[in-house]
Amino acid sequence: MTWTEPSTWYANLPAFHAATAAFITDAVGDVLLVKPTYRDHWAFPGGYVEQDEYPHQACAREAREELGIAVAVGELLVVDWAPPAGQRPRALVHFTFDCGTVTRHDGFTLPRQEIEDAGFFAPDEAQQRLPGNVAPRVGAAIRARTRRTPIYLADGGTAARQCRQD
């Protein structure tokens, strides 16, 4: 095996995007979702991690930007790895953090150009409002919060199921 210059070696490694989400519930366990203006579906509060930003910092920033609230970013609940898909040419690693329980209220300040609505939904309804590859994160986050240990998903859990069948 020949030695490779570090700059060449690193340049040839695969690159991926990183995103983050805040898992927030109310006192009865309903899940907070937001409805972005630029998507047909609901989403967890969150977004992409910026350069030189840690995922937990991105989670706090996105909650502040999308909801107008400061959250205490707690334990990592779910890591979901998704291969390139659609117009996204790179794989995506998605971090879901426990951002606690809040009192259900209308105290959110939504940036109307980005977020048209926010609401709490029972876990089953939250899953129905999310895209199919994101919906499994609801149950995984609830289990991880209860067990106090993170859960790994591969492509929303479909790749993990496929691996177990092989």
Each residue's pLDDT tens digit, 13-39: 888 899 999 999 999 999 999 999 999
Residue 161 belongs to some domain of the structure? yes
Residues in the chain: 166
- Which among 19, 41, 13 has a CA at the least distance from the CA of 116? 41
| pLDDT given for residue 20 in this prediction | 98
| pLDDT given for residue 13 in this prediction | 82
Residue 42 belongs to some domain of the structure? yes
Residue 1 belongs to some domain of the structure? no
Residue 77 belongs to some domain of the structure? yes
Tally of domains within the chain = 1
Long-range interactions of 32-35: CB distance < 8 A, separation 24+: 32/102, 32/118, 32/119, 32/120, 33/118, 33/119, 33/120, 33/121, 33/126, 33/129, 33/130, 34/66, 34/67, 34/110, 34/115, 34/117, 34/118, 35/115, 35/116, 35/117, 35/118, 35/119
| pLDDT given for residue 159 in this prediction | 53
Cα distance between residue 133 and residue 92, in whole Å = 12
Q: In the numeric block, which tokens belong to residue 61? A: 């920033």
CATH of the domain at 81: 3.90.79.10
DSSP string, 23-65: EEE-TT-PEEEEEETT-SS-B-SEEEPPTT--HHHHHHHHHHH
| pLDDT given for residue 41 in this prediction | 94
Residue 6 belongs to some domain of the structure? no
Residue 3 belongs to some domain of the structure? no
Residue 8 belongs to some domain of the structure? no
Residue 5 belongs to some domain of the structure? no
List per-residue pLDDT tens for the chain, 166 residues long. Answer: 678 898 888 888 888 899 999 999 999 999 999 999 999 999 999 999 999 999 999 999 999 999 999 999 999 999 999 988 888 888 899 999 999 999 876 678 899 999 999 999 999 999 999 999 999 999 999 999 999 999 999 988 765 544 444 4
pTM of the predicted model over 0.85: yes
Residue 33: domain span: 13-165
